[in-house]
């Protein structure tokens, strides 16, 4: 999905979240050059006409709304059976995540967020839209602490005649109202009840009703009273508690009758921390929703029932009498409602002919659906990733196998979508370090790594498996092939320093190496045409054809050697004078050979073909002076070469 272009306008960049119904991606709008959120219906749900209708209904519901506390919808579309909705990209966290991180929130935060959500509901209700799924997971909090309401997936227009979803429970069970638990009528006050549950969770850090199954929680919404928030969190003020408890009254008539009334109460609580609800009688909703199971006259009777009054302090004897009277009347109403609720719930679970629910766990979805249809039972489906379960198999069911229910009872099925997958990122031409980081960031790991020669730079990725864009189980391994660079023979770089330039050229040529640039500079150590430096260090492995640049000496100031002085003739034998043509020996005085330090002085006889070393001495100038003597023997005139520290410094001819 990453990289897909929707409607020639929206380029999918990355996945940011998802649920059982749809996935949400960050995308780039190329027309307006901005980031947007794209909600895409899951592929496996496209064949479910009810879910497709629900997805389209959400688009229509939110498209009719425009409010700073409601996530805006910019566009909707369908491409090749791909249903998508383009929405405002909100940077922030869900309210649920904030509650998990912080626990109970401060009263100022609760009032601040609750008022914004109430303002969003006020706008929706004024446009005849009932959300029906208010919960902290559907409330986004931006970095500047603005609350935004989202996910109108089960919203309906309150102008329709019936809002009952027959045979199923609509909404999230921990937050929906008693009328939703009964499958009864829902209106604006149902959203306010759910907001009250959200406020309860913000104030205490926990939900008022918990249970082992959704049915258990639903029954608690119908039958049990929640523990006052101040019993859990002693910092909850009496005023905030009175607002929360009024919102979650089980009787719709006893709650706030509109979001406007709730906003007014929250405003007073913000300006007066000691504010407490006291004998508030809201204006009765003059435009109620007509629902299944109630006639207009019965609805009118409900509307005429007095609102349950909340009093905190005894103010006078007359006040006490009024409170007692209201209490008695409220008790009668509660008894009537309880009797009605008990009757309604009993009808939910009982019928003249009870049906035993079969064991569906492990069955394929189609087989489970067929089994339920044969028994005249309804079903609801929730999809969930599972490491062990096969795709499209039943992971769990509620109610469990063996329980007896009435005909058309909705059985909840949790279906495996297999292991959670995501798209493999594109790693081509990246370094191994970059590829490893991108894989781990996407939830994958590096698998087998091979190396191969390539024209691509050494160390870069030249192949990956699976390829980019493929679906892979999170935590799965991606194999990589890393470039070793082009294929070539390697040689060991020799040491050319001290060699003549001609010798260095020949050495490089023999190794199939190229001479790069040649630079000349003066030297205090090497004579002319001697290599001073090389661009590639000796001992290093380099490919054939590598260019090697050299620095060559322009020469040094050689020691100024005076013409050797012949000190005396040495006879060949004692007391005899050599005959003409016989060898004679002469002593040469060589120097100065330097100013200080130790030098090696060599004397070569220059002969045709090669020179012969006839004298060598390591000479300490500081101790022995800067001159030394050497004896040479020969006949006629011969040439000699004086070498100091490997450098020829003078040639001399001696006439014997």
SS (H, E, C) 125-169: HHCCEECCCCCHHHEEEECCCCEEECCCCCCEECCCCCCCCCCCC
52: pLDDT strictly greater than 50: yes
pLDDT at 523: 78
- Name which residue leads in pLDDT, 205 or 409: 205
Note whether 243 and 143 are same-domain residues: yes
Quick one: 208 and 282 in the same domain? yes
Q: Give a yes or no: residue 558 inside a domain.
A: no
Indicate whether 178 and 131 sit together in one domain. Answer: yes
Are 382 and 414 in contact by the 8 Å Cβ rule? The answer is yes
pLDDT value at residue 141: 93
Q: How confident is the model at residue 310 (pLDDT cuts 50, 70, 90)?
A: very low
Determine how β-strand 547-553 pairs with β-strand 514-521: parallel
Give how far the C-alpha of residue 332 lies from the chain's centroid of Cα atoms, to the nearest Å: 57
CATH number of the domain at 67, please: 3.30.200.20
Residue 48: how many other CB atoms lie within 10 Å: 15
- Residue 138 and residue 226 share a domain: yes
Per-range mean pLDDT, top range of 277-286, 480-489, 564-573: 480-489
Q: Is the dihedral of CA 50, 56, 58, 60 positive or negative?
A: negative
Read off the pLDDT band of 135 (50, 70, 90).
very high
Same structural domain, 511 and 456: no
Same-domain status, 162 and 40? no
Rounded CA-CA distance 82/215 in Å is 34
Between 314 and 633, residue with greater pLDDT: 633
**DSSP assigned state of 535:** S
Q: Provide the pLDDT for residue 11.
A: 93
User: Sorting pLDDT into bands at 50, 70 and 90, what band is 308?
Assistant: very low
Alpha carbons 526 and 555: distance in angstroms, whole number = 6
Omega of the bond prior to 592 within 30 degrees of 0, cis? yes
Residue 525 corresponds to which tokens in the numbers above? 């150590």
Residue 583 lies in a domain: yes
In this prediction, residue 390 carries a pLDDT of 76
Across the chain, what does the average pLDDT equal?
Answer: 79
Query: Token digits for 367?
Result: 């087989």
Q: What is the CATH number of the domain that holds 252?
A: 1.10.510.10
As a whole number of angstroms, the distance between CA 273 and CA 235 comes to 12
Q: What is the pLDDT of residues 10-41, one digit of tens each?
A: 999 998 877 667 788 999 998 888 999 998 88
| Residue 418 pLDDT > 70 | yes
Domain closes at, from 88, 105, 121: 88
Specify the pairing of strand 82-88 against strand 129-130. Answer: unpaired
**Residue 543's pLDDT is what?**
84
Among the candidates 483, 517, 535, a domain finishes at: 483
Least-confidence region, from 155-159, 224-228, 607-611? 155-159
Residues 497 and 586 in one domain: no
Going by C-beta distance under 8 Å and a sequence separation of 6 or more, which residues neighbour residue 605?
611, 612, 614, 632, 634, 638, 639, 640
**Structure token pair of residue 276:** 């407490």
> pLDDT band at residue 559, thresholds of 50, 70 and 90?
low
CA 331 – CA 397 distance, rounded (Å): 39
Residues 343 and 366 in one domain: no
Q: What angle do CA 477, 481, 482 make, to 5 degrees?
A: 120
CB of 416 closer than 8 Å to CB of 392: yes
Lowest mean pLDDT among 317-321, 398-402, 410-414, 635-639: 317-321
Provide mean pLDDT across the span 316-320. 44
Domain end residue (candidates: 433, 449, 483): 483
- What does the block give as tokens for 373? 């249809």
Whether residue 378 is contained in a domain is answered as yes
The confidence score (pLDDT) of residue 331 equals: 55
CATH number at residue 638: 2.60.40.2560
pLDDT for 561-618, tens place per residue?
555 666 555 554 555 566 777 888 888 888 888 777 888 999 999 887 778 889 999 9
The two three-digit tokens of residue 498, written as one number:
């001290």
Looking at the structure, tell me whether residues 45 and 112 fall in a common domain: no
Residue recorded with tokens 């220059």: 606
Residue 172 predicted with pLDDT over 80: no
Q: CB-hemisphere CA count at 13 Å for 287?
A: 9
Predicted pLDDT at 480: 93
Strands 355-356 and 404-405 come out as antiparallel
401 three-class SS: coil
Q: What is the pLDDT of residue 165?
A: 38
Query: What confidence score (pLDDT) does residue 46 get?
Result: 78
pLDDT at 348: 45
Is residue 254 located within the same domain as residue 390?
no
Query: Of these residues, 133, 191, 282, 386, which one is catalytic?
Result: 133
Co-location of 427 and 402 in the same domain: no
Asked about 133 being catalytic, the answer comes back as yes
For the chain, the domain total comes to 6
- Please give the span between the terminal C-alpha atoms of the chain, in angstroms, as a whole number: 100
Nearest Cα residue to 431 out of 461, 456, 451, 453: 461
Separation CA 26–CA 14 (nearest Å)? 5
Residue 139, preceding bond cis, omega within 30 degrees? no
Query: Which of 280, 276, 278, 253 is closest to 334 using CA atoms?
Result: 253
User: Is residue 434 within 8 Å of residue 460, measured between CB atoms?
Assistant: no
Lowest mean pLDDT among 167-181, 195-209, 325-339: 325-339
- Asked if residue 626 belongs to a domain, the reply is yes
- Predicted TM-score of the model (pTM): 0.45
Question: Which pair of structure tokens corresponds to residue 234?
Answer: 């002693």
Q: pLDDT, tens digit, for every residue of 421-469?
A: 788 999 998 888 889 988 988 889 999 999 988 878 888 999 999 988 8
**Beta strands 531-534 and 547-553, pairing class:** antiparallel
DSSP lists the bridge partners of residue 532 as none
| Strand bridging mode 477-483 / 461-465 | antiparallel
Q: Does 257 score more than 80 pLDDT?
A: yes
Confidence of residue 472 (pLDDT cuts 50, 70, 90): confident
pLDDT at 566: 61
Q: What is the pLDDT of residue 98?
A: 93
- In this prediction, residue 303 carries a pLDDT of 36
| 394-398 vs 156-157, strand pairing mode | unpaired
Mean pLDDT in residue range 339-367 = 68
pLDDT at 300: 39
CATH code of the domain in which 496 resides? 3.30.10.20
- Answer yes or no: is 560 within a domain: no
Task: Please determine, for residue 395, whether its predicted confidence score (pLDDT) is greater than 90.
Answer: no
Cα distances (angstroms) measured from residue 369 to each of 170, 199, 492, 652: 20, 38, 74, 115
Note whether 463 and 372 are same-domain residues.
Answer: no
Residue with tokens 């009964």: 182
Range of the domain at 247: 93-349
pLDDT per position as a tens digit, 91-132: 888 999 999 989 999 998 999 999 999 999 999 888 888 888
pLDDT at 335: 52
259-271 and 188-204 helices, crossing angle to 10°:
30
Asked, for residue 584, whether it belongs to a domain, the answer is yes
Whether residue 173 is contained in a domain is answered as yes
Q: Report the pLDDT value the prediction gives residue 36, as an integer from 0 to 100.
A: 93
| CB-based contact 445:437 (threshold 8 Å) | no
Residue 46 lies in a domain: yes
The per-residue DSSP string of 559-610 comes to --PPPPEEEEEE-SSTT--PPTTS-EEEEEEE----SSSEEEEEEEEE-SSS
- How far is residue 467's CA from residue 450's CA, in Å, rounded to a whole number? 16
Confidence class of residue 144 from pLDDT cuts 50, 70 and 90? confident
């Amino acid at each position: 999905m990453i990289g897909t272009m929707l409607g020639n306008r929206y380029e999918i960049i990355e996945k940011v979240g998802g649920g059982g119904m749809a996935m949400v991606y960050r995308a780039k709008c190329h027309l307006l050059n901005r980031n947007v959120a794209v909600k895409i219906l899951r592929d496996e749900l496209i064949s479910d006409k009810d879910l497709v209708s629900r997805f389209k209904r959400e688009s229509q519901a939110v498209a009719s709304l425009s409010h700073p506390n409601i996530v805006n919808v910019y566009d909707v579309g369908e491409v090749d059976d791909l249903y998508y909705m383009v929405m405002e990209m909100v940077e922030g966290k869900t309210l649920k995540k904030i509650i998990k991180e912080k626990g109970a929130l401060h009263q100022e935060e609760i009032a601040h967020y609750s008022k914004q959500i109430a303002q969003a509901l006020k706008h929706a209700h004024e446009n005849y839209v009932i959300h029906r799924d208010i919960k902290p997971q559907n409330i986004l909090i931006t970095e500047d602490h603005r609350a935004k309401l989202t996910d109108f997936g089960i919203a309906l227009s309150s102008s329709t005649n019936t809002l009952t979803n027959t045979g199923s429970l609509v909404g999230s069970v921990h937050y929906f109202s008693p009328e939703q638990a009964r499958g009864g009528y829902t209106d604006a006050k149902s959203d306010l009840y759910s907001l009250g549950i959200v406020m309860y969770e913000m104030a205490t850090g926990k939900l008022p009703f918990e249970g082992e199954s959704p049915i258990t929680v639903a029954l608690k919404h119908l039958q049990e009273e929640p523990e006052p928030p101040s019993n859990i969190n002693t910092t909850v003020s009496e005023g905030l508690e009175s607002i929360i408890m009024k919102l979650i009254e089980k009787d719709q008539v006893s709650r706030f009758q509109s979001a406007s009334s709730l906003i007014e109460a929250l405003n007073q609580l913000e300006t007066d921390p000691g504010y407490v609800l006291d004998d508030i009688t809201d204006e009765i909703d003059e435009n109620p929703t007509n629902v299944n199971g109630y006639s207009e006259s019965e609805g009118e009777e409900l509307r005429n029932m007095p609102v349950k009054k909340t009093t905190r302090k005894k103010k006078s004897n007359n006040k006490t009498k009024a409170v007692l009277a209201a209490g008695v009347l409220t008790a009668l109403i509660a008894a009537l409602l309880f009797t009605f609720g008990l009757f309604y719930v009993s009808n939910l679970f009982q019928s003249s002919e009870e049906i035993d629910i079969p064991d569906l766990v492990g069955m394929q979805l189609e087989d489970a659906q067929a089994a339920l249809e044969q028994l005249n039972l309804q079903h609801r489906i929730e999809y969930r990733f599972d490491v062990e379960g096969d795709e499209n198999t039943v992971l769990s069911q509620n109610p469990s196998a063996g329980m007896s229910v009435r005909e058309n009872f909705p059985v909840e099925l949790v279906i495996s979508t297999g292991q959670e997958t995501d798209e493999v990122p594109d790693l081509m031409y990246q370094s191994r370090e970059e590829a490893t980081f991108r894989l781990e960031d996407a939830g994958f790991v590096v698998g087998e790594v091979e190396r191969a020669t390539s024209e691509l730079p050494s160390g870069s990725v030249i192949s990956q498996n699976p390829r980019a864009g493929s679906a892979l189980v999170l935590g799965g391994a991606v194999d990589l092939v890393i470039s070793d660079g082009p294929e070539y023979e390697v040689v060991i770089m020799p040491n050319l320093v001290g060699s003549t330039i001609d010798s260095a050229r020949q050495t490089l040529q023999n190794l199939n190496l190229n001479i790069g640039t040649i630079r000349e500079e003066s030297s205090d150590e090497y004579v002319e045409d001697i290599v001073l430096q090389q661009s590639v260090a000796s001992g290093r492995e380099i490919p054939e054809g590598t260019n090697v640049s050299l620095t060559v000496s322009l020469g040094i100031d050689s020691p100024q050697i005076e013409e050797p002085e012949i000190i005396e003739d040495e006879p060949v034998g004692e007391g005899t004078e050599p005959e003409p043509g016989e060898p004679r020996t002469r002593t040469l005085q060589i120097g100065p050979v330097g100013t200080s330090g130790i030098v090696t002085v060599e004397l070569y006889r220059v002969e045709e073909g090669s020179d012969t070393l006839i004298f060598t001495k390591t000479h300490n100038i500081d101790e022995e002076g800067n001159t030394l003597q050497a004896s040479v023997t020969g006949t006629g005139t011969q040439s000699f070469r004086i070498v100091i520290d490997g450098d020829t410094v003078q040639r001399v001819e001696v006439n014997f």
